[in-house]
Amino acid sequence: MRTARFSRGFSDYQIKMAFIMPTMILLILMNIFPLLWSLYLSFHRYKASMPNRPAKFIGPQNYARLLTDPEIWGYFQTTAYFVVLAVITQFIIGFGLALLLNREFRYKGLVTTLILLPMMLSPVVVGLFWRFIFASDASGLVNYLLSPLFGGPIGWTTDPKIAMLAVVIVDTWMWSPFMMLISLAGLSAIPKYLYEAADVDRASQWFKFRWITLPLVSPLLLIALLFRTMDAFKMFDIVYVLTREGGPGIATETVSMNLYKLAFRNYNTGKACAMAYILLIIIVALSNIYVKHLNKVRGEA
Amino acid sequence: MKKLACYFAILMFSVLIIATPSTNAQEKLTIAWAQWDPANYLDELSNDFTAETGIEVDLVQISWSNFQDSVFTAFVGKSDRYDIVIGDSQWLGRNSVGGHYVDLTDWINENIDVDAIYATAMEAFAEYPKGSGKYWALPAEVDANGFLYRTDLFEDADEQAKFKEKYGYELAPPKTYEELRDIAEFFTRPPNLYGIAPWYSKEYDGITMGFQQVMWSYGGSYGDPETYKVEGHINSDDVVAALEYYTSLRAFSPPDAPNYYWAETLDAFKAGKVAMAMDYFAFFPGVVDSNQNPNYYDKTGFFVSPAGPKGHAISIGGQGMSISAYSKNQDIAKRYLKWFMQKPVQEKWAQLGGFTPHEEVLQSEVFLNATPFNKAFAASFPYLRDFWAVPEYAELLEACQTGWNQVIIGSKSAKEALDDIARKHEAIFEDAGYYD
């Protein structure tokens, strides 16, 4: 009987399952299980570096301690400050570049590729070479150029009032091209006849931008903003390298930087899991706001 | 066809899930250490072990920035990747209590002549808890915080006369921290020359290793090692004075100094930016090498970290050799440790440039005259002290690193930062049950 069934071969459903199962199992092992396991650990006092000490259930204590710790709120404020400043700047520069590039000219392809280069580099490499560019003495290119104007070197990575600006500049240099790319895709998709119709009506440049370009490109802009916000909220690599673990002091210590220290320096695994969940909830909430707005914009369009 | 596709899928799945690379760990020893010159010396030295025993030694050099993370991640994953780990002294508590290091107490007592090793080195790199007689490692590279200075500046007759006129005593390598500040002030001539390059960095243990020796020399301490009480120790008036002193050196250091740790102070010195620089002795071979330091290799002097108003203490550097509890080659690892601690091997280790913990070798004329800085290193030995080595050291270190760096950059006053550190340290100890 078994041999007979085997000889008939597998059904379409079984074949489908055979192809899907490896991915499903990997997904469960690599994503779902760690997600649930970290949720479990977030309610425990547990250090991964002490495997001989079992996890002790402490209820929501990790969450309570994190949410009542003024230093943690400080890291959230630093992160929020960075996200707002970086994403807005990248949006303005990226969209501006896209408007400039949304026309035909010689070497357009080459110029676009060159502008996209920073985005293709590793953030650690970017952090490292900007560390040299921002060096606070004459060996740093920026200070070499600006020192005569400001009467001395600027402490880009040593002055707590300026360090965040340095991080924003580097992140903007790296990610404005991404904003430009998405904006350019949106701008290219706008039908030319709309502008031609507006020209016939002798509409001003501002009118065309306000009533044709902006409404039609905004769904894509919102998607770009969503990606960048989520990514900026997780800012880690550039502050790790450029401002040396979120320095000077705690001037650029973002939530992710602190989370890394909690998890992999201090091995405060339970608390780190709780922190990761708080971060996850915030990112999901922010994404939902964007998505709702995106749906609204699409509806209007 | 369907059947074939199905079998292919099953095959691929099986390969993905069950295939593991086969390893042949027989007669091969893997040692993990940071990427620096002493690791190269050990690599060379280990060739002798291979020649004697036929056992291959693979020395994995991990960049300093990833060293701790790589080793701890391997331990957390119970990986048998490393047989021997040459780790920082602060790691002892975490890795012994966590079960990652093999308890070597009985083996060391039976196989190693502990009396031949400097007691300070055994206590710092091998013993946990301190004074318990329980050993988890053997000292490998014993390092100390020392100073470099520019002999062309210090020995210049004109500079000497000007210095004496201003400060009333001879210009010479400083013996006290007050003298160090005077000299640093004297040579501060921005933007091309500054007096001193101290460790101020927030990275890993940078500022802590630089400042703690000043703190001890000013009469301060981290806390009571018996009760683990911190309040009144780390935020005492002595420590406030020490931190204010250490912060005052910023006026005589290059603008980038808040980011300085060993690599940056070394670079600043080699570039001729500073008259004096703080660094670990282990990096000094590169300073006297004409290829690595073409401008000042023959114009560099070395001095022992100065004394303070209430004592003399120096931050210990270096690492001890421990055997991973997850190693499948523990017997070979023990054989290597025993071989390494032999006097002739220690002599060769010192010859190659390693800083030996072997007392007799360390005090021998051959060692003392082998390099221009070995005398200063040997003279530093009696003053060596260490940070907490408890399992919670990383959290304690983090609080110090951030707090002290905030004082250097002017975000907090010394008193505010120290009160904050004291509060955090007590919370960490309380959380870990030290006060129960």
pLDDT band (50, 70, 90) for residue B436: confident
Q: What is the pLDDT of residues B31-62, one digit of tens each?
A: 999 999 899 999 999 999 999 999 999 999 99
CATH of domain B144-315+390-431: 3.40.190.10
Return the CATH superfamily for domain B28-143+317-385.
Answer: Periplasmic binding protein-like II (3.40.190.10)
On the question of a cis peptide bond just before residue B191, with omega within 30 degrees of 0, the verdict is yes
Cβ pair A21:B394 closer than 8 A: no
Contact present, B396 and B390 (Cβ < 8 Å) = yes
* Percentages (nearest 5) of helix, strand, coil residues in chain B: 50, 15, 35
Out of B97, B406, B411, the one facing A50 most closely (by C-beta) is B97
> Is residue B9 over pLDDT 90?
no
Q: Which residues of A touch B6 (CB under 8 A)?
A: 9-10, 14-15, 18
How far away is chain B from the Cα of A282, in angstroms, using its nearest Cα?
A: 26
pLDDT at site A195:
92
> Is residue B2 over pLDDT 90?
no
Query: HSE (CB half, 13 Å, CA atoms) of B136?
Result: 31
Average pLDDT of span B230-255: 97
Average pLDDT of span A117-135: 94
Cβ pair A10:B2 closer than 8 A: yes
pLDDT band (50, 70, 90) for residue B15: low
> Is residue A1 over pLDDT 50?
no
Q: Which residues of B touch A153 (CB under 8 A)?
A: 191, 255
Q: Which residues of A touch B97 (CB under 8 A)?
A: 50
Q: Helix count (H) and strand count (E) of chain B?
A: 20, 9
Q: Which class for B160: exposed (0-12), middle (13-18), buried (19 or more C-beta within 10 A)?
A: middle
Q: Which residues of A touch B412 (CB under 8 A)?
A: 249
Cβ pair A265:B203 closer than 8 A: no
Domain borders along chain A are: 11-57, 61-300
The residues pairing with B176 across neighbouring beta strands, listed in sequence order, are B307
Token output for B31: 């040692």
- Count CB neighbours of A147 within 10 A: 17
Task: Say yes or no: B425 contacts chain A, CB-CB below 8 A.
Answer: no
pLDDT at site A97:
96
Out of B75, B98, B409, the one facing A158 most closely (by C-beta) is B409
> Is residue B262 over pLDDT 90?
yes
Contact present, B243 and B406 (Cβ < 8 Å) = no
B244: Cβ contacts below 8 Å, ≥ 6 apart: B414
Average pLDDT of span A123-132: 94
pLDDT at site B21:
47
On the question of a cis peptide bond just before residue B294, with omega within 30 degrees of 0, the verdict is no
Q: Roughly how many angstroms between the first and final C-alpha of chain A, as a whole number?
A: 61
**For B257, nearest residue in chain A (alpha carbons):** A158
Selected for mutation to probe chain A from B95, B405, B425 (highest A CB count within 10 Å) is B405
* DSSP assigned state of B28: E
Query: Residue A114 carries which side chain, given as an amino acid letter?
Result: L
Q: What is the pLDDT of residues B382-409, one digit of tens each?
A: 999 999 999 999 999 999 999 999 999 9
3-state secondary structure of B278: strand
pLDDT at site A296:
83
Cβ pair A248:B405 closer than 8 A: yes
Average pLDDT of span B259-274: 95
Tell me the residues of chain B between 337 and 376 that have a Cβ less than 8 Å away from chain A: none
pLDDT at site A257:
96
Strand-strand pairing, B84-88 and B314-323: antiparallel
Cβ pair B411:A251 closer than 8 A: yes
Q: What is the pLDDT of residues B322-345, one digit of tens each?
A: 999 999 999 999 999 999 999 999
Selected for mutation to probe chain B from A66, A245, A252 (highest B CB count within 10 Å) is A245
Average pLDDT of span B422-435: 95
Closest CA relative to residue A266, chosen from B62, B406, B125, B72: B72
Q: What is the pLDDT of residues B343-371, one digit of tens each?
A: 999 999 999 989 999 999 999 999 999 99
Q: What is the pLDDT of residues B184-194, one digit of tens each?
A: 999 999 989 99
> Is residue B196 over pLDDT 80?
yes
**Averaged confidence pLDDT in chain B:** 93
Contact present, A263 and A279 (Cβ < 8 Å) = no
What percent of chain B shows pLDDT beyond 70? 94
Out of B16, B99, B191, the one facing A22 most closely (by C-beta) is B16
pLDDT at site A151:
84
pLDDT at site A147:
87
Q: Which residues of B touch A268 (CB under 8 A)?
A: 395
Average pLDDT of span B135-159: 97
Q: Residue B138 — φ and ψ, nearest 5°?
A: -130, 140
Domain borders along chain B are: 28-143+317-385, 144-315+390-431
Q: What is the pLDDT of residues A149-172, one digit of tens each?
A: 888 889 999 999 999 999 999 999
Out of B73, B98, B273, the one facing A51 most closely (by C-beta) is B98
Report the length, in residues, of chain A.
301
**For B431, nearest residue in chain A (alpha carbons):** A45
Token output for A200: 């016939």
Q: Do domains B28-143+317-385 and B144-315+390-431 have the same CATH topology?
A: yes
pLDDT at site B65:
82
The residues pairing with B389 across neighbouring beta strands, listed in sequence order, are none
- ipTM confidence: 0.86
Tell me the residues of chain B between 133 and 162 that have a Cβ less than 8 Å away from chain A: none
Average pLDDT of span B401-430: 97
pLDDT at site B10:
57
> Is residue B24 over pLDDT 80?
no
Out of B6, B97, B201, the one facing A10 most closely (by C-beta) is B6
pLDDT band (50, 70, 90) for residue A5: low
Q: Which sign, positive or negative, has the C-alpha torsion B377, B379, B383, B389? A: positive
Q: Using alpha carbons only, give the angle B123, B129, B131 rounded to the nearest 5 degrees.
A: 55
Q: Which residues of B touch A25 (CB under 8 A)?
A: 17
Quick one: CA torsion of B325, B331, B336, B339, rounded to 10 degrees?
A: 130
CATH of domain A61-300: 1.10.3720.10
- Across chain B, which distance is largest between two alpha carbons, in Å? 97
- Count CB neighbours of B131 within 10 A: 9
pLDDT band (50, 70, 90) for residue A294: confident
Which of A254-263, B19-28, B166-175 shows the lowest mean pLDDT across its residues?
A: B19-28
The residues pairing with A221 across neighbouring beta strands, listed in sequence order, are none
Out of A18, A136, A246, the one facing B9 most closely (by C-beta) is A18
- CA dist B242 and B212 (Å) reads 9
> Is residue A290 over pLDDT 90?
no
Q: Does A9 or B183 have the greater pLDDT score?
A: B183
Three-state SS string over chain A comes to CHHHHHHHCCCHHHHHHHHHHHHHHHHHHHHHHHHHHHHHHCCEECCCCCCCCCCEECCCHHHHHHHCCHHHHHHHHHHHHHHHHHHHHHHHHHHHHHHHHCCCCCCHHHHHHHHHHHHHCCHHHHHHHHHHHCCCCCCCHHHHHHHHHHCCCCCCCCCCCCHHHHHHHHHHHHHHHHHHHHHHHHHHCCCHHHHHHHHHCCCCHHHHHHHHHHHHHHHHHHHHHHHHHHHHHCCCHHHHHCCCCCCCCCCCCCHHHHHHHHHHHCCCHHHHHHHHHHHHHHHHHHHHHHHHHHHHHHHHC
Q: Residue A156 — φ and ψ, nearest 5°?
A: -55, -40
What is the number of CB-based contacts under 8 A between chain A and chain B?
Answer: 120
Q: Residue A154 — φ and ψ, nearest 5°?
A: -95, 135
In angstroms, the Cα distances linking A245 to B205, B257, B271, B305, B398 are: 12, 16, 25, 28, 11
Q: What is the pLDDT of residues A90-112, one digit of tens each?
A: 999 999 999 999 988 999 999 99
Token output for B187: 């040579």
Closest CA relative to residue B217, chosen from B357, B332, B384: B384
Q: Which residues of A touch B202 (CB under 8 A)?
A: 244-249
Selected for mutation to probe chain A from B76, B91, B205, B400 (highest A CB count within 10 Å) is B76
Cβ pair B5:A160 closer than 8 A: no
Cβ pair A10:B3 closer than 8 A: yes
- CA dist B81 and B25 (Å) reads 10
What percent of chain B shows pLDDT beyond 90? 90
Q: What is the pLDDT of residues A33-43, one digit of tens each?
A: 999 999 999 99
User: Can you give the pTM of this predicted structure?
Assistant: 0.89
- CA dist B242 and B214 (Å) reads 6
Cβ pair A15:B9 closer than 8 A: yes
Token output for B201: 């960095």
Q: Which residues of B touch A62 (CB under 8 A)?
A: none
pLDDT band (50, 70, 90) for residue B23: very low
Task: Say yes or no: B181 contacts chain A, CB-CB below 8 A.
Answer: no
